[in-house]
Amino acid sequence: MHPEQEREALVDRLARRGRIEDEATLAALRSVPRHEFVPEGRREGAYDDRPLPIGEGQTISAPHMVGIMTDLLDLRPGDEVLEVGTGCGYHAAVTAEVVGPGGVYSVEYHESLAERARRRLERLGYGGISVRAGDGREGWPEHAPYDRAYLTCAATDFPRAVVEQVRPGGYLLAPLGTRRQTLVRARRRADGTLDREEHGGVRFVTMQ
C-alpha cells in the first residue's frame, strides 16, 4: 500500500472511532505525510497509531493524540499558536494545516532536532512555521501574545512564562504530571489565572 493510502486508512479508522470530531482536524491529518517525519528505519510503521522514537530520547506522538490535541485547542484559521517541543515537526505541521503556517511558532530544546525539523518543514512546504532551539519554559516572547499554546512534552504545570504569553480567553493544553500524566486544557482569564479541564490519562516524554 502506498503511504497516501495508508494515511487515508489510518484517518478513516480514527474518524470511525469518534475521538476526533472536527473535520478540519481530520483534513489536516490526511494532508500531512507522517512518513516524512519519522526516521527512515521506522517508516514501515509510520501509519500505525502509536508513538515512534525520533532520536535524543524523544518521540513523534501517535496520530490519534495529535488529533485529539488539535480538536481540544479549537483552532481557527489565522490563530497565532505557540508549540513547546518541536520534535520532528509533525505536530506543528498538523497545526499549520488548520491555522496557516505563518501562525505557528515552535520551540525545541535539542538544537539537532530543531535544525532537522526546520529543514524538513521547509522541504515539505511548511517553511512558514517558525522553529527555534531554546528552553520551552520561556516560550517565545517576541511573537506573543498567542491565541493558543500547547506542550508536546509532560510538565508538572503550565510554565508561567507560557501562560503570560497567551491572550486572555486563549487556551493552553499540556500533559501535566510526572509518572501519571493528565491531558489538561486551560482557558486563561484576564487576571492570568486558569480555568482547567481534565481530558484523560496520557503518557508523554518529560520536558527537558
What cell was used for 12?
A: 478513516
Which residue in the list 61, 106, 112, 130 is annotated as catalytic?
61
Cis peptide leading into 168, omega within 30 of 0?
A: no
Q: How many helices (H) and strands (E) does the chain have?
A: 6, 9
Q: Given the DSSP bridges, would you call strands 181-188 and 166-177 parallel, antiparallel or unpaired?
A: antiparallel
Is 61 known to be catalytic?
Answer: yes
Residue 178 · residue 193 · CB < 8 Å: no
Q: If we measure between CA atoms, which residue out of 183, 170, 185 comes closest to residue 79?
A: 170
Residues carrying an active site annotation: 61
